[in-house]
Amino acid sequence: NPTWAKSFLKQAVLAGVGQTILVLSGKGGVGKSTAAVQLAATLRAQGRRVGLLDVDLCGPSIPRMLGVEGKDVLTTPEGKWVPVSVDEEERLKVISIAFFLDSKNDAIIWRGPKKNAMIKQLLTSVLWDVDYLIIDTPPGTSDEHISVMENIKGVPVMGAVLVTTPQMVAVDDVTRELTFCRRTGITILGIIENMSGFVCPTCSECSNILASGGGQQLAEKAGVAFLGRIPIDPTLSRCAEEGLNYIDKFSSSPISQIYHSIIHKL
């Protein structure tokens, strides 16, 4: 019975997860992981139980951004991984490929099959028990990226959030991601334009260092939702460096408010 098989697969693949949101980007360095962390922290601030799964093999940076770098992952007698809790209430939990690496460069020298096996295990062997699971995927349409997408088949994916910077070169890469989502049947929840302008802390004037509006234009052209524009903010990157929760610490800042509005648009 295919219906039964499908629902069994859903349960088996990502048990204990309400909704899954993928965070994608066309290339590295645009702020995909930072956005994944803020989306998770915002959902948590709204009272949800959230998991963050970091399968960015090129640079698994999420444990550091959340201040849980170097933590050990416990394994149950059944061989399931228990995610690392970021807060005492266990409302924000994380599993990252970084927890399983002896050295930061390990994953980079792994060959395809080893990477694929690890990705599959990360997607199938974690005891989540969360309302939302945010998945930080490898950038681009690399082999690892395709492996994530293949292993995610059968999982109830709510959709993908695409992160870009405003310049057209970055936007071109995102266009490839859009095509990829459409081919694989993944709903596109919308586009976030990150590093969009810099608000001067002394005079409050906004300078468009990296051009402006590319993400919004692309969203309009592609007929997908434009979720919001996040400016360059040194406080945001300092929080990421120091493992501090920006959304909690600066809950009334314009960026925190933009993230709340982004969650409402999903």
Question: Least distance from C-beta 210 to ligand ADP, angstroms?
Answer: 11
Query: Quick one: which of 152, 224, 232, 247 contacts ligand ADP (CB under 6 A)?
Result: 232
Task: Report the residue number, 13 or 133, with the smaller CB distance to ligand ADP.
Answer: 133
Q: Which of 176, 184, 232, 161 is nearest to 26 (CA)?
A: 176
Alpha-carbon distance of 29 to 164, in angstroms, equals 9
Alpha-carbon distance of 13 to 6, in angstroms, equals 10
For residue 87, which phi and psi values (nearest 5 degrees)?
A: -125, 160
Is residue 39 at the binding interface for ligand ADP, with CB under 6 A as the rule? no
Alpha-carbon distance of 48 to 50, in angstroms, equals 6
Residue 144: DSSP 8-state: H
Is residue 67 at the binding interface for ligand ADP, with CB under 6 A as the rule? no
Alpha-carbon distance of 178 to 159, in angstroms, equals 12
Query: Quick one: which of 230, 246, 247, 259 contacts ligand ADP (CB under 6 A)?
Result: 230
The H or E element that residue 4 is part of is helix 2-13
Q: Which stretch binds ligand ADP (CB under 6 A): 68-76, 166-174, 234-242, 244-252?
A: 234-242
Task: Report the residue number, 149 or 170, with the smaller CB distance to ligand ADP.
Answer: 170
Size of the site for ligand ADP (CB under 6 A): 18
Binding pattern for the stretch 177-196 against ligand ADP, x by CB under 6 A and - elsewhere? -----------------xx-
Contact indicator for 14, 123 with CB cutoff of 8 Å: yes
Q: Which stretch binds ligand ADP (CB under 6 A): 22-30, 147-155, 213-221, 246-254?
A: 22-30
Q: Which stretch binds ligand ADP (CB under 6 A): 24-32, 106-114, 141-149, 221-229?
A: 24-32
Q: Which amino acid is at 12?
A: A
DSSP, collapsed to helix, strand or coil, labels residue 241 as helix
Q: Which stretch binds ligand ADP (CB under 6 A): 9-17, 30-38, 68-76, 87-95?
A: 30-38
* Residues whose CB is less than 8 angstroms from the CB of residue 78 and which lie 6 or more positions away in sequence, other chains included: none
Task: Report the residue number, 153 or 249, with the smaller CB distance to ligand ADP.
Answer: 249
Residues lying near ligand ADP in the complex (CB under 6 A) = 25, 28-34, 59, 61, 194-195, 230, 232-233, 236-237, 240
